[in-house]
Amino acid sequence: MIEISHVNKWYSPTFQVLTDCTTSVTKGEVVVVCGPSGSGKSTLIKCVNALEPFQEGDISVDGTKVNDPKTDLPKLRSRVGMVFQHFELFPHLKIIDNLCLAQQKVLGRSSDKAVAKGMQLLDRVGLKEQAQKFPAQLSGGQQQRVAIARALAMDPIVMLFDEPTSALDPEMVSEVLDVMVDLAHEGMTMMVVTHEMGFARKVANRVIFMDRGEIVEDAAKEDFFGKPRSDRAQKFLSKILSH
């Protein structure tokens, strides 16, 4: 589904953020990307739907090359759902309109169809009653669930999550993770940048560990948590799992 091969990215000629990153996500797979902050994991996931450009290498999604200038990026992105750390709901639009905007303007769905789909997804994330409110009236956890519903409204073939729980108060983390676990169980293809190792243990098929722009470890979940091969991954795990 997602093929990432030998991706290199520089912010400036002397500052390389991604170094020779190669990995893939197959259909139905849940891949968790973790690593210390500044390791390039968010940058890598943003390269997948071309929100960040990269200078070398190739990324393709469902056979379409992301870095090909001829690629119709809006069309490709409309099939790739993305959830951001800071939710990024549109504050000037009601919740239901947040869900309908792209359905109508990108997919060309009628207003009735878009609203029906939107309400169905809001119901699914438990926020049907909030449809007529504005984003600022919702808690962080609720906003992030709306953001997930907004991405799902486009019927994506794959979902990208960029630290979806990092900006949340601790008591709101689980309500968001619950939605993501459900999604994983339904067979959604997911690439998730997160520090939530509990989530990784529960639903991930594979775990990628990044450090200083490199993919240091790319292993099945059991292998990663059982016995990480690299020192750096071992150190990282012992630090975040020690409490």
List residues binding another protein (CB under 8 A): 49, 51, 73-75, 77-82, 84, 86, 88-92, 101-102, 105-107, 136, 150-151, 154
Q: Which is nearer to another protein, 75 or 239 (CB)?
A: 75
Q: Count of H helices and E strands in the chain?
A: 9, 10
User: Which is closer to another protein, CB of 49 or CB of 165?
Assistant: 49
CB-nearer residue toward another protein: 165 or 233: 165
CB of 227 to another protein, least distance (A): 36
CB atoms within 10 A of CB 204: 24
Q: Select from 160, 149, 147 the least CA-distant residue to 66.
A: 160
Nearer to another protein, 77 or 232 (CB): 77
Q: How far is the CB of 2 from another protein (least distance, A)?
A: 15
Minimum CB distance to another protein, residue 136 (Å)? 7
Q: Is 145 helix (H, G, I), strand (E, B) or coil?
A: helix
* Contact between 9 and 46 (Cβ < 8 Å): no
Task: Report the nearest approach of another protein to the CB of residue 240 (Å).
Answer: 26
**189: number of Cβ within 10 Å:** 23
Tokens of 87: 């939710």
Cβ closest to another protein, residue 70 vs residue 92: 92
Give the C-alpha separation, 80 to 74, whole Å.
10
Least distance to another protein from the beta carbon of 82, Å?
A: 4
